[in-house]
Amino acid sequence: MNRAKDLVFEAIPAAELEKIRAAGRDEAGNSLAVQTDTPHEYPPELSDWQQVVRAYDRRGRIADGRPVADGREAQAVIGQWLAQPGVQRVHVRNVGYGCFNFAVRRG
């Protein structure tokens, strides 16, 4: 598995985030909640949550997907998938609705 410093955890793209910040709400109408920036570690507030982890190839197509029990399992899956040459990026998403939480890529 890759060490955390070898990975980059990405949140919502900057241009999209600026739109959300300007509106004070996301595209679903939810009010903003301030989160800390954890670019080189799995977000601690999600460590006990079930997640869906999805691998994407260079064309942006889903290469694999798996539900995980918690952040520890998610990090293991992320490391395995990013070690595969065909995987460019991994998304971590909400189990219930599939909402995007963050992306991870090689650093």
Q: Tell me the per-residue pLDDT of 26-65, one tens digit each, with 9 for 90 and over.
A: 877 888 776 666 778 898 889 999 999 999 999 999 999 9
Q: Is the pLDDT of residue 1 over 60?
A: no
Token readout for 100 is: 């995007």
User: Sorting pLDDT into bands at 50, 70 and 90, what band is 5?
Assistant: confident
β-strand partners of 31:
25
pTM, two decimal places:
0.71
How far is residue 81 from each of residues 6, 34, 40, measured CA to CA in Å? 14, 30, 17
β-strand partners of 68:
51
Element housing 14 (H / E): helix 14-23
The Cα–Cα gap between 41 and 5 comes to 7
